[in-house]
Structures are given as structure tokens and as C-alpha cells.
Amino acid sequence: MSEQTAQNDTEMKRHYVTFYSPGTFVAEDTVRQLESWDVKVAKELAEDITERYGATPYGFRFHTMERQPGEWEPKRTARSPMYYLPHCKIETLAEIEARDLPEERILRQNMRGNGWGRVVVTTKGWRWTQPLEETDVVLT
């Protein structure tokens, strides 16, 4: 049996964290391998990540990749909710409508049109706003 065949006959399970930072049109992302889904470790790792134009992470998500014996490609078998770092805040449509700022006109339209009741907004670094899903976690 070749070494390659022996590797493909063993089970593999690896954990990763993907960090998301503000980008020009879509989020920039950086992936790191971890021993486990550890929020404290991920928060610490986020402090050392800088993307283009100095953007820093606003949040992260864990996932697990597994490969069973005889399989060539690993498959994602688990995915966490999104974790937003402590420098993010939740804003409601009512709060945004009450401010009635001209620069938030498109945000208000998107929130109404897509049925988003709440969004997450960064409070430091590049401004980034996106919908808050029911399963998302905003860390303190």
C-alpha cells in the first residue's frame, strides 16, 4: 500500500475559524486552523489580523472539515453561527428610521425591503453594516 493510499484510508477531522473584515464590496476573509471551536482563542487571534487598507475583523465563524476513510476531499460537517466582536453594536430599523440620516436612506430601504429588523454595525475601524440573524452572537 502506498503512503498516499494509507493517508486516504484514515479519518481526518479539522477545525477552522474564518475571520471577516470590511471589504470594498464584500467582506475580506482570513482562515486559521484551530484545535477546537474556542471563542476566547478566536477573539485573541482576531487582534492580529489586518486585511487590505488596514481593515480588521468584525466577526468570525467556526467550521469543521472531515474526511472519512476512502474519501479524497474533506467535507464541511459543522458550521457555527456568526460571532461579532465586542466593537459591534446592534441597531434596529426603528432606531435607524428615527435618526433619518440621508446617508442611511439605502440602508433603511434595504432593511424594509428584506425584512431585516436588526443590523450589526462596527463601532471602530471601517464602518460595516449587515443583517443580524437569529442565531448570531454579539460578544461582550
My answer on whether 7 and 70 are in the same domain is yes
* Structural domain range at position 11: 3-84
pLDDT at 9 (0 to 100): 60
My answer on whether 22 and 47 are in the same domain is yes
My answer on whether 52 and 31 are in the same domain is yes
pLDDT at 71 (0 to 100): 85
140 falls within a domain: no
My answer on whether 113 and 49 are in the same domain is no
Total tally of structural domains belonging to the chain: 2
My answer on whether 72 and 107 are in the same domain is no
**Residues of the chain above pLDDT 90, percent:** 88
Interior angle at CA 23, CA 138 and CA 53, nearest 5: 110
**Residues of the chain above pLDDT 70, percent:** 93
**Rounded-to-integer distance, Cα 64 and Cα 101, Å:** 42
My answer on whether 35 and 74 are in the same domain is yes
Beta-strand runs (E) in the chain:
12-21, 28-34, 59-67, 75-79, 83-84, 88-92, 118-122, 129-131, 137-138
My answer on whether 51 and 113 are in the same domain is no
**What is the pLDDT confidence band of residue 62, given thresholds at 50, 70 and 90?**
very high
pTM, full prediction: 0.87
